[in-house]
Amino acid sequence: MMVTSRSEAKRKRALELGAHEVVATGERLAEPVDLVVETVGAATWRHSLRSVRPGGRIVTAGATTGSDIPLELPRIFYRQVSVIGSTSATRGETLRMLSFMHAAGLRPVIDSVFPLDRIHAAFERTQTADLFGNVVVEIGSR
């Protein structure tokens, strides 16, 4: 698995968590990849499209920097790249994923946990540059 980030600290942490290779955002990859998971949008779309191998896939699941992008249709059809949109999963898919994660011993990376009465602070945390992982909002005590 290859990870990109603008932050050197985040790239280092990704290696510690098991990434095989890390590169700074926008750097040329050593070789094209089979799959790109794109959540940023306008700021990284062109790089994502140029990083996927012929016959590869791009899964787009967000557009935090905007959704107006140069689609570059010839690059998509000549290289037979599949572009797949995804927003969520069905309940059944989520349960299968959780079952797999449990069986494989996988745990999500948690950046921070906030009680419900601090939900505004939790949202603000999601907007910070040093965020790494998920922000959890607890509804009740355990």
The reported pLDDT for the residue numbered 131 is 94
The reported pLDDT for the residue numbered 141 is 63
Question: Do residues 111 and 131 touch, judged by C-beta distance below 8 A?
Answer: yes
The reported pLDDT for the residue numbered 88 is 84
| Angstrom distance (rounded) from CA 63 to CA 33 | 21
Domain boundaries, the chain: 2-85, 108-142
- Domain over 2-85 is classified CATH 3.40.50.720: yes
Written as one string, the DSSP assignment of 20-88 is SEEEETTPPPSS-EEEEEE-S-TTTHHHHHHHEEEEEEEEE---TT-S-----HHHHHHTT-EEEE---
| Global model pTM greater than 0.95 | no
The reported pLDDT for the residue numbered 16 is 95
Average pLDDT for runs of 10 along the chain of length 142: 92 95 91 94 93 97 92 96 93 96 96 97 94 94 60
**For residue 115, what is the DSSP state?**
E
Question: Do residues 141 and 118 touch, judged by C-beta distance below 8 A?
Answer: no
| Angstrom distance (rounded) from CA 41 to CA 48 | 9
The reported pLDDT for the residue numbered 75 is 96
Tell me phi and psi for residue 54, to 5 degrees: -55, 130
